[in-house]
Structure 1
Amino acid sequence: MPLSLLLITVGIALRQADRIHFARGCPSRGNAAALIALQRSRATNWTPALLLAGQWLQIAGWWLLAGHGPLAAAAAAGGVAVQFRHLQEISHFAVHGVLARTRWANQLLAEIFVHHPLGLVPVPERRRLHVRDHHPNAARPGVDPNLAELHQAGLRPGTSRARFARAVVYPLTWHGVRGTVAGIAASLRHSGSWHRAAAIVAVLGASYLTGGWPALLCGVLIPRLLLYPQLAWLSLINEHTWFDPEPRTGSPAWVEAGRCLRLYPHNRALAAFAATTWLPYGDLHHYAHSAHPAVRWNYLPALERHLHQPHFTPDGLLTGPRSVIAHHRRALALHTTARPGTSKPAHSV
């Protein structure tokens, strides 16, 4: 157990190199242009590499811990799921081209450390779906692939309470698990499938060699197939007022303020917990990211303080009348929203 804790500690320490490097000279608040100029002056390839290596070192620590009894195995499953979620969000900024200094480094780091070992689609395809298709069209029926995914899971107008509840935990259902497995299989059908398959086999083998069957089961399979997809799903649900966006024209910040939300704006403890677990690396500040996608996560808090708040600032995710889930449920029950493919895209956004 001491070795596992040491690996986790060293992994956390390695990750701080990137945070410290980009924190130098960061203002408490600032406009997007100034923050982008600052991050470009700080851009490097070595701190993102250390950041990603630190994440995997932490995962290795959890693998070692998994063999120390049922409680340790359960903790490892949760710990690795959180690290997988962190890796996904780091690669999200690589897709936007702001993780490393060059486009080549962004793609290479994302593929080697995230997309290959986790069985995700190639980075160019994710860039097309996310940057080209989602960002300009967030919450627009028939255009936004993320909204189509929510509809497909059962979050659509007229849905029953039971189906709505199942849709909130969709990745944990049989259909959700089957979709996760199908997504991994689809990633192996792309060009270079042999080294994508080899990367997945390497992760499975490394986990077994590090912590035996408990590490393989609780350190890879359960996190990758169940827990991490659920964390990512809750993050997706929390990004926008998907089913009742306020149509706006004007500046990017003004447009996004009408279709984004900001969770826990007045609760620092819950905000800190979310930022270190299921909403990491700037995902808690998704409104600021949507308004200015070229800003790295290090500077999103400063940017957010420069912007007006979005029109919906919920106090909770799952419970309470002002929670994200309650808001979505009311919107689906009371508002008529066209299903994907049945409405023409608006041209004013």
Structure 2
Amino acid sequence: MHGVLARTRRANQLLAEVFIHHPLGLIPVGERRRLHVRDHHPNAARPGADPNLAELHQAGLRPGTSRSRFARAVVYPLTWRGIRSTAAGIAAGLRHSGAWHRAAAIGLVLGAAYLTGGWPALVCGVLTPRLLLYPQLAWLSLINEHTWFAPEPRTGSPAWVEAGRCLRLYPHNQFLARLAATTWLPYGDLHHYAHSAHPAVRWNYLPALERHLAQPHFTPDSLLIGRRSVIAHHHRALAVHAATGSSAPARTV
């Protein structure tokens, strides 16, 4: 989406379409680039402007939500609503221009899986990962990208601005940091702070780049468990919004 793998935009788009967007049934690269690069990056965590924040709100991460609804929103892709949303996204991708070769690519993947290992390969090797595992890993990665509901408004250099609305997970646990960095999707998204500050830098340079950036204002030790976890931070921020009845960013610690 950021055009840093090949020398030309056309080559980058071709690589992304052939190896990711077509076989996974994602929307065209051009549209995804618009949503991510043009709409998300300059407007991260800004209500009414960031499409990613709108996606979180739609899943149930909004002020006034109950604990049970908040918990369901954390695993939204695994719920029936989330599965329907994933299926609807695949169907939407097939309605764009070039739908026939997008459908052919999906059919080729499904057919190859079945010919390789029958129904077990089709269900366990393609359908379950695409409809459940990939969406949930990408969802956890999205939740961890920003202090979505409590950004700290700043002006100045890109790194200073992003330090106020990004976070750095596992700053004191190298094992968990490396595990998350190699298993979450999109790959390398654990380094979203560095990516947000310098979006044109290739993914494999982000760990080195992040070592030269100052710490963001929130450095949680865990994603799901504990008072200083990312999830607890989001829950407190939404509670502050609900208590104050304000749409302005909440400040939590």
AA of the residue aligned to 1:249: T
- Residue in structure 2 matched with residue 104 of structure 1 by the alignment: 10
- Residue in structure 1 matched with residue 232 of structure 2 by the alignment: 326
- Residue in structure 2 matched with residue 171 of structure 1 by the alignment: 77
Question: Retained in 2: the 8 A contact 1:142–1:343?
Answer: no
Structure 2 unaligned regions, length at least 5:
249-253
Distance 1:279 1:121, change over 3 A: closer
What's the secondary structure of 2:211's corresponding residue?
A: helix
**Counterparts of 1:56-135 in structure 2 under 5 Å?**
95-135=1-41
User: 2:131 is matched with which residue: 225, 239, 262?
Assistant: 225
Can you list the C-alpha shifts for 1:72-123, whole angstroms capped at 9, x where unaligned? xxxxxxxxxxxxxxxxxxxxxxx10112222111100000010001000000
Distance 1:186 1:338, change over 3 A: farther
Structure 1 unaligned regions, length at least 5:
1-94, 345-349
What's the secondary structure of 1:329's corresponding residue?
A: helix
Distance 1:330 1:145, change over 3 A: same
Q: CA RMSD in A?
A: 1.8
The runs of at least 4 consecutive aligned structure 1 residues that moved more than 4 Å come to 336-339
Question: Retained in 1: the 8 A contact 2:45–2:149?
Answer: yes
Which structure has the larger Rg over C-alpha atoms? 1
Equivalent pairs: percent with the same residue?
85
User: 1:209 is matched with which residue: 108, 115, 120?
Assistant: 115
Q: Give the drift of 1:281.
A: 3.5
Instruction: Report the TM-score when normalising by structure 1.
Output: 0.69
**Counterparts of 1:279-298 in structure 2 under 5 Å?**
279=185, 281-298=187-204
Q: How many residues align?
A: 248
Distance 1:198 1:116, change over 3 A: same
Q: Give the drift of 1:302.
A: 1.6
Can you list the C-alpha shifts for 1:6-47, whole angstroms capped at 9, x where unaligned? xxxxxxxxxxxxxxxxxxxxxxxxxxxxxxxxxxxxxxxxxx
* Structure with greater helix percent: 1
AA of the residue aligned to 1:169: V
Higher relative contact order (Cα pairs below 8 Å, separated by 6+ residues): 1
Q: Give the drift of 1:335.
A: 2.9
- Residue in structure 1 matched with residue 49 of structure 2 by the alignment: 143
Q: Give the drift of 1:188.
A: 0.2
Q: Give the drift of 1:212.
A: 1.2
User: 1:314 is matched with which residue: 217, 220, 224?
Assistant: 220
Q: Give the drift of 1:299.
A: 1.2
Question: Retained in 2: the 8 A contact 1:274–1:280?
Answer: no
Can you list the C-alpha shifts for 1:307-343, whole angstroms capped at 9, x where unaligned? 101001110111011111011011111235999xx97
1:246 aligns with 2:155: no
Distance 1:338 1:128, change over 3 A: farther
Question: Retained in 2: the 8 A contact 1:244–1:335?
Answer: no
Can you list the C-alpha shifts for 1:263-312, whole angstroms capped at 9, x where unaligned? 11110110111111115642111000000000001111121111101001
User: 1:156 is matched with which residue: 62, 65, 87?
Assistant: 62
